Amino acid sequence: MDYQALAELLFPNVTQTPEDLEEKYPARQVSEGAVITRMAPSPTGFVHLGNLVQGLISERMAHQSGGVLFLRVEDTDAKREVPGAVEVLIDTLRHYGIHFDEGATMDGDAGNYGPYRQRQRADIYHVYAKKLVSQGQAYPCFCTEEELAAMREKQEQAKETTGYYGPYALWRDRSLEEIREQLSAGKSWVLRFRSTGSIENQFKFDDLVKGKLTITENNVDHVLLKSDGIPTYHFAHAVDDHLMRTTHVVRGDEWLATLPFHIQLFKALDFKLPKYVHIGPLMKMDGNSKRKLSKRKDPELALTYYKAEGFPVEAVYEYIMTLLNSNFEDWRRANPDAPTDSFKFSPKKLNPAGSLFDYAKLTDVSKNVISRMDAEKVYALLKEWAVEFDPDFGAKLAVAPAYATRILAIGRGGKKPRKDLAVWKDAKPYMGFFYDEYLQAPVFDEKFDAALIRDVLSRFLESFDITDDSAIWFEKVKKIAVDIGFTTDMKAYKADPAAFPGTVADVSTFIRQAVTGQTNSPDLYTVMQILGKDRTVERIQKTIASLGGFQ
């Protein structure tokens, strides 16, 4: 077979050579050890936690080593593409602090190794396709869908491995004449790789996460170009990652199955193989067993979920770090205020089996992250969230920034900051009572008579002075307890509750409920200071009235 003639027959318009492309996309001038890597998502419109994990690993590896992170859009599957998906993707990743040095952007491409959208690279793939054909390493296959389906059925019946290989590789050794005939009849074709591998052979391979792997050679003549001339993932991966000078490929371990083919392809194309970082899936506990997070069953897989719940970006980022590198948490404890990117991330510490996603743990991390922020930052982030997801609350926050910031400053700073907020959604239940429209009527413990509660509240009003300091304020509350026969000795009360009609804690709770509508609130003295004299008094009077007082 004259492979050169076949190459000309299939790709008459390809005039560029691999050498031309090598020249156009030269080796990058980076320092030794710099990692050049990429994110290569398909624009399906759904950005999930797995994308973020992969992005974060890639970003850290690139930027920690003084390398380059670029974004390549894998849009070869036009059927799955959703309009606007690339923009959503870029925007979401940026929101999570993943910045690209080059690649696809909101408006076109940036960088010298583009185009960065695969559908715009057809000419480039064809240069290498032609080369493979001219070397006898690729050939056209004219099998129809029906023929392939029939073949598959036959293989299944015979309990053989399915696929296009060995005797089933029907177009592997056809003559130039036969091929010419099909072409002139206008038959559609795909380009297949001519595999020389055998499943009898195995070889060793080193993956940065999975460690030493024993790999069986590939014997399948996989498709390189589909009938529309667009490459499969495999072919595009080899060509793009070579020409874009990728040194490390970070991707999901579902690609391990076709890794033998990728290795073969890089060799056939005379490309240097990049290093691979195959990451395990994200899993969760479902009852007593682990399973992969699923798009259908788990809303928490979608990144939009975290935004809508109101997890700060930093919290999601920190949580993923704790998932990926088990020493991150110790580091954070030792360096509570250090920027996250001063942590030395290591891909070697990734769990080869994947990571177990734990929502409760994420919530914990988030509480810590928020507790370390200053009130101004909490205000800014909360307002931004509320304006989008709870506009009424958002408007209230926006209208009086100083007031909201004062509220959010309660219990902040110091060694043991309060940890009331895990997500911005928690803020309204926590602080809503500061806004009169959100104040709820208190529901008192039925154990106590309305008259007793009224009495406590009236006594409080009588002695209330907004200028008191917190010690005097509390002495006054204690005095009320004593005057009505409630104990201030909590130890004695715990030992024998039946011996006392109530305690100073009950007195505080009555007052707290009258002022905030709830049994839990941040420090009540401070709450009153922020509400001010008039609103505090007014709320207590209103409660007294609702309990049948002032009639």
Which of residues 274 and 310 has its CB atom nearest to ligand GLU in the complex? 274
Report in angstroms how near the CB of residue 128 gets to ligand GLU at its nearest. 17
Which of residues 48 and 459 has its CB atom nearest to ligand GLU in the complex? 48
Query: Which residues are 192's β-sheet partners?
Result: 139, 223
Report in angstroms how near the CB of residue 43 gets to ligand GLU at its nearest. 9
Instruction: Give the count of beta carbons closer than 10 Å to the beta carbon of residue 232.
Output: 20
Which of residues 118 and 355 has its CB atom nearest to ligand GLU in the complex? 118
142 within 8 A of 171, measured Cβ to Cβ: yes
**Residue 52 tokens, joined:** 């973020």
Report in angstroms how near the CB of residue 293 gets to ligand GLU at its nearest. 15
Residues contributing to the site for ligand GLU (CB under 6 A)? 40-42, 74, 237, 249, 251-252
Cα–Cα distance, 123 to 15 (Å, whole number): 10
Which of residues 251 and 539 has its CB atom nearest to ligand GLU in the complex? 251
Which of residues 42 and 371 has its CB atom nearest to ligand GLU in the complex? 42
Report in angstroms how near the CB of residue 248 gets to ligand GLU at its nearest. 11
Alpha carbon 173 to its chain centroid, in Å, reads 48
Residue by residue, what is the 3-state secondary structure of 469-525?
A: CHHHHHHHHHHHHHHCCCECCHHHHHHCHHHCCCEHHHHHHHHHHHHHCCCCCCCHH
456 within 8 A of 417, measured Cβ to Cβ: no
Report in angstroms how near the CB of residue 402 gets to ligand GLU at its nearest. 47
Which of residues 233 and 464 has its CB atom nearest to ligand GLU in the complex? 233
161 within 8 A of 52, measured Cβ to Cβ: no
Which of residues 70 and 433 has its CB atom nearest to ligand GLU in the complex? 70
533 within 8 A of 478, measured Cβ to Cβ: no
Which of residues 72 and 428 has its CB atom nearest to ligand GLU in the complex? 72
Residue 308's contacts (CB-CB under 8 Å, 6 or more residues apart) are 389
SS3 295: coil
Report in angstroms how near the CB of residue 78 gets to ligand GLU at its nearest. 14
Report in angstroms how near the CB of residue 40 gets to ligand GLU at its nearest. 4
260 within 8 A of 216, measured Cβ to Cβ: yes
**Residue 116 tokens, joined:** 């960065």
Report in angstroms how near the CB of residue 56 gets to ligand GLU at its nearest. 14
Alpha carbon 458 to its chain centroid, in Å, reads 53
Please confirm whether the linkage preceding 26 is cis (ω < 30° from 0).
no
Report in angstroms how near the CB of residue 42 gets to ligand GLU at its nearest. 5
Which of residues 49 and 528 has its CB atom nearest to ligand GLU in the complex? 49
Give CA separation, 443 vs 195, 363, 440, 446, 536, in Å: 76, 29, 9, 9, 18
Cα–Cα distance, 433 to 396 (Å, whole number): 12
68 within 8 A of 102, measured Cβ to Cβ: yes
Report in angstroms how near the CB of residue 269 gets to ligand GLU at its nearest. 16
Which of residues 324 and 431 has its CB atom nearest to ligand GLU in the complex? 324
What single letter denotes the amino acid at residue 509? T
Report in angstroms how near the CB of residue 254 gets to ligand GLU at its nearest. 7
Which of residues 72 and 367 has its CB atom nearest to ligand GLU in the complex? 72
SS3 236: helix
Which of residues 41 and 310 has its CB atom nearest to ligand GLU in the complex? 41
Number of residues written out for the chain: 551
Report in angstroms how near the CB of residue 326 gets to ligand GLU at its nearest. 24
| DSSP string computed for 387-435 | HHH-HHHHHHHHH-HHHHHHHHTTT-SSSS-----SSGGGHHHHHGGGS
